Amino acid sequence: MSTANPLLDYADLPPFAAIQAEQITPAVEAVLAAAREVVSQLTADTTPATWQDFVLPLTDATEKIGKVWGPVGHLHAVVNTPALREAYNANLPKISEFYSELGQNLALFEKYKALAASPEFAQLPPAQQTIIQHELRDFRLSGAELPEADKPRFTEIQLRLAELSSTFSQNVLDATDDFALYIDDVNELAGVPEDSLAMFAAAAQADSKTGYKITLQFPFYFPIAQYADNRALREQLYRAYSTRASEFGKPEWDNAPLIREILQLRAEEARMLGFANYAELSLVSKMAQNPAEVVSFLRDLAQRAKPFAVQDRQQLEAFAQQELGLESLQAWDIAYASEKLRVARYAFSEQEVKQYFPEPKVLAGLFGVVKTLYGVDVVPSDSQTWHPDVRFFDVQREGERIGQFWFDLYARPQKRGGAWMDDARGRRLTAEGVQTPVAYMVCNFTAPIGDKPALFTHDEVITLFHEFGHGLHHLLTQVDELSVSGINGVEWDAVELPSQFMENFCWEWDVLQGMTAHVDSGEPLPRALFDKMLAAKNFQSGMMTVRQIEFSLFDMLLHSAFDPEQGDWEALLAEVRQEVAVNIPPIWNRFANSFSHIFAGGYAAGYYSYKWAEVLSADAYSAFEETGGANAETGQRFWQEVLAVGGSRPALDSFTAFRGRAPTIDALLRHAGMADVPPTPVAA
């Protein structure tokens, strides 16, 4: 391999500053060619079906592909320049084709089956046995057992689905970045907080314009939705945001044709593998057993939550009429009226709370919680980055590095919206020793302006803790086999357990005392204000719960009980909303067109996992409540039984080992203020 290409010639961390778009294609082609040569050698009769001779070389070869494609995919998400996008799109089919070939390689499949049937298998450690079992399952799901005549079509479907998912995400990004509204008169922005106005002004100045610039990036859009007194402006922004990537915008960015084709191809893929629908295929590698079980879980939760949601909506409507003069509460009024009601009911605003959460203090508090729970230190470190705002940290235990991560916290153009964690490198034991894990943690918060630090809302603090929970799952693993270390091999509907679990500590007084300092006075969060926040914790929890159920039920029905050829997904979504929702958006709302989680983000027939894992996380956190909150003893048990084991055993076994019993739904209902029902065991 060429030593001139930084993607092929780094021993430790990706050299982001040196990576150029034109280097991607030769690097991808080189590493794929090398991997195909390895596969050819491993499928030869002379290669014995043993862990050492067969599994390890294949793991090495695919990890090398990840070392090239991982940084490329990450840059595509956070620095989406035209040149990088072109290179990414050109090489995505090559990557997809290789893994499709791999999944259908009968010679490899036979080697795995031979290893599973050999005397060696019983002598292997449990983690290695799990990997082999996962591989056998995945070969079947990849079409290895299909008739040879069907395999080309199956491969064609995989390549096209990868292309469609990438295009779907890019269309949402392009439609988001394309919108810009310039306002000269500050009176049109009455009600919007000063720090948001400063951000709007800085954005306009960056375009060499006066006044204020508003975009559809979330830190711009949401302050308008939540605070702007100008109802027409709220409606304008809501309409633009909720019709992104639809027929109401540029035709080339309309995701509706992509949705149709994605659903058709997924259904065809499922039929080829012998499943009745795509949801059945999706659930093979998840905790839930079948679509009916998931739908039953969601509808049961909806039945419990909807009375609270109806009450939330009625109270909001009454307040909007009596106090705000809004006779008809529209979709673009909900966030605005909710914030006004929150202030009226609890005598504080999110803007007031935000002043107590400057970024440096929040990060110190987050790292302090991790130190308390797990005895590890997070310390600044050095690495090449893809943007000046990005920072790099080491995770150490007793002075020894056990992991590293990047923080990319601020929204900016050419960066995908939302928040996520992704693994840059997994833990594994090599001949040179333990390869420590590395993670990317990405958010889209408001960047600091001037000489003041960034200020986070409490919701953003919760988001930060959530993503760091994912990061800890990856970084604190103690499994030495790459395929099941950290988040690898964990059932999709269990991956949110560690992240949602971490959110709970954002509500502990002892924790908040150490992570708050008013941006001007330096005073910590007052106890009186915390008590108001706590009283408001479950404000509109009914509405928020049924909103998540709405998305989850739509996703599951879309992939299990929907005609992908002729079905109308907007009609299906309307039916779901009539069943479970209390906030019904306008008929022109095109939520599905930007529902990247299920059309571009891996959550297809899996969005329910947020609520499923919330049951697990609430129950897990209740163990800390029983022992006095954040403490090292319970933290060590959670680390050892959940975080440390990664995907080396079923997630339910890990939960049961930690909790001493199966999960129940009552902790979730209690935490959400909906606990007037008896405890109900959760099917696993």
d(CA 461, CA 469): 12
Q: Which SS3 state, helix, strand or coil, does residue 585 take?
A: coil
Q: Which SS3 state, helix, strand or coil, does residue 402 take?
A: strand
CATH of the domain at 107: 1.20.1050.40
Residues 138 and 201 placed together within one structural domain of the fold: no
pLDDT digits (tens, 9 = 90+) for 329-353: 999 999 999 999 999 999 888 889 9
Q: What is the pLDDT of residue 280?
A: 98
d(CA 126, CA 683): 25
Q: What is the pLDDT of residue 223?
A: 95
CATH of the domain at 499: 1.10.1370.40
Q: Per-residue pLDDT for 677 more than 80? A: no
Is 56 exposed, middle or buried, given 0-12, 13-18 or 19+ CB atoms closer than 10 A? middle
d(CA 168, CA 272): 24
Residues 53 and 185 placed together within one structural domain of the fold: no
Residue 678 placed within a domain? no
Residue 97: both structure tokens together: 């084709």
Residues 117 and 207 placed together within one structural domain of the fold: no
pTM of the model: 0.87
Q: What is the pLDDT of residue 665?
A: 82
In the sheet that holds 377-381, the strands lie side by side as 377-381, 391-397, 400-410, 438-445, 420-425
Residue 327 placed within a domain? no
Residue 8 placed within a domain? no
Give the type of residue at 364: A
Is 460 exposed, middle or buried, given 0-12, 13-18 or 19+ CB atoms closer than 10 A? buried
What average pLDDT does the structure give for the chain?
A: 94
Residues 109 and 212 placed together within one structural domain of the fold: no
Is 518 exposed, middle or buried, given 0-12, 13-18 or 19+ CB atoms closer than 10 A? middle
Residues 366 and 487 placed together within one structural domain of the fold: yes
Q: Per-residue pLDDT for 675 more than 80? A: no
**Given pLDDT bands bounded at 50, 70 and 90, which one contains residue 87?**
very high
Q: Which SS3 state, helix, strand or coil, does residue 198 take?
A: helix
Query: Are β-strands 400-410 and 438-445 bridged in parallel, bridged antiparallel, or unpaired?
Result: parallel
Q: What are the φ and ψ backbone dihedral angles of 269, each rounded to 5 degrees?
A: -55, -45
Q: Which SS3 state, helix, strand or coil, does residue 674 take?
A: coil
- Please tell me the total count of domains within the chain: 3
Quick one: three-class SS letters along 462-476?
Answer: HHHHHHHHHHHHHHC
Domain extent, residue 222, equals 179-243
Q: What is the pLDDT of residue 14?
A: 96
Concatenated DSSP letters for 355-386? TT-BHHHHHHHHHHHHHHHH--EEEEE----S
d(CA 64, CA 66): 5
d(CA 658, CA 640): 8
Residues 366 and 496 placed together within one structural domain of the fold: yes
Which residues have a Cβ under 8 Å from the Cβ of 123 and sit 6 or more positions away?
none
Q: What percent of the chain has pLDDT over 70?
A: 98
Based on DSSP, count helices (H) and strands (E) in the chain, helices before strands: 27, 9
d(CA 554, CA 212): 38
Q: Which residue has the higher pLDDT, 592 or 496?
A: 592
Which residues have a Cβ under 8 Å from the Cβ of 372 and sit 6 or more positions away?
630, 631, 632, 635
**Given pLDDT bands bounded at 50, 70 and 90, which one contains residue 684?**
very low
d(CA 430, CA 223): 49
- How many other CB atoms are there within 10 angstroms of residue 182's CB atom? 14
Residue finishing a domain among 243, 260, 280 = 243
Residues 410 and 516 placed together within one structural domain of the fold: yes
Continuous H helices in 179-255: 194-206, 218-227, 231-242
Is 12 exposed, middle or buried, given 0-12, 13-18 or 19+ CB atoms closer than 10 A? exposed
Residue finishing a domain among 243, 259, 276 = 243
**Given pLDDT bands bounded at 50, 70 and 90, which one contains residue 676?**
low
pLDDT digits (tens, 9 = 90+) for 506-522: 999 999 999 999 999 99
| Interior/surface letters 245-266, b for 16+ CB within 10 angstroms, e for the rest | bbeebeeebbbeebbeebbebb
Residue 260 placed within a domain? no
pLDDT digits (tens, 9 = 90+) for 96-120: 999 999 999 999 999 999 999 999 9
Residues 95 and 221 placed together within one structural domain of the fold: no
Would you please indicate which residues are annotated as catalytic (active-site) residues? Answer: 467
* Mean of pLDDT values over 210-238: 96
Residue 430 placed within a domain? yes
pLDDT digits (tens, 9 = 90+) for 539-568: 999 999 999 999 999 999 999 999 999 999
Query: Are β-strands 391-397 and 433-435 bridged in parallel, bridged antiparallel, or unpaired?
Result: unpaired
Q: Per-residue pLDDT for 42 more than 60? A: yes
Q: Per-residue pLDDT for 682 more than 80? A: no
**Partners of 405 in beta bridges:** 393, 439
Q: What is the pLDDT of residue 3?
A: 58
Residue 469: both structure tokens together: 């929970």
Q: What is the pLDDT of residue 492?
A: 86
Q: Per-residue pLDDT for 1 more than 60? A: no
Quick one: three-class SS letters along 296-307?
Answer: HHHHHHHHHHHH
pLDDT digits (tens, 9 = 90+) for 123-171: 999 999 999 999 999 999 999 999 999 999 999 999 999 999 999 999 9
pLDDT digits (tens, 9 = 90+) for 252-297: 999 999 999 999 999 999 999 999 999 999 999 998 999 999 999 9
d(CA 413, CA 155): 35
Q: What is the pLDDT of residue 389?
A: 96
| Interior/surface letters 291-330, b for 16+ CB within 10 angstroms, e for the rest | beebbebbeebbebbbebbeebbeebbebbeeebebeebb
Residue 250: both structure tokens together: 């540029």
Residues 130 and 186 placed together within one structural domain of the fold: no
Residues 226 and 130 placed together within one structural domain of the fold: no
Residues 397 and 447 placed together within one structural domain of the fold: yes
pLDDT digits (tens, 9 = 90+) for 625-639: 998 888 999 999 999
Q: What is the pLDDT of residue 377?
A: 98
**Partners of 435 in beta bridges:** 428
Q: Per-residue pLDDT for 228 more than 80? A: yes
Q: Which SS3 state, helix, strand or coil, does residue 401 take?
A: strand
Residue 365 placed within a domain? yes
Residue 250 placed within a domain? no
d(CA 250, CA 119): 61
Residues 28 and 131 placed together within one structural domain of the fold: yes
pLDDT digits (tens, 9 = 90+) for 384-438: 999 999 999 999 999 999 999 999 999 999 999 899 999 999 999 998 999 999 9
Rounded to the nearest 5 percent, the helix, strand and coil shares of the chain are 60, 10, 35
d(CA 544, CA 462): 15
Which residues have a Cβ under 8 Å from the Cβ of 354 and sit 6 or more positions away?
193, 195, 455, 456, 457, 458
d(CA 378, CA 68): 27
Residue found under tokens 């919108």: 179
- Identify the weakest region by mean pLDDT among 455-464, 653-662, 671-680: 671-680
Residue 235 placed within a domain? yes
Residue finishing a domain among 516, 535, 554 = 535
Residues 319 and 684: beta-carbon distance below 8 Å = no
d(CA 547, CA 306): 10
507 alpha-carbon distance from chain centroid: 22
d(CA 435, CA 403): 9
- How many other CB atoms are there within 10 angstroms of residue 430's CB atom? 12
Residues 682 and 620: beta-carbon distance below 8 Å = no
Residue 147: both structure tokens together: 């008739």
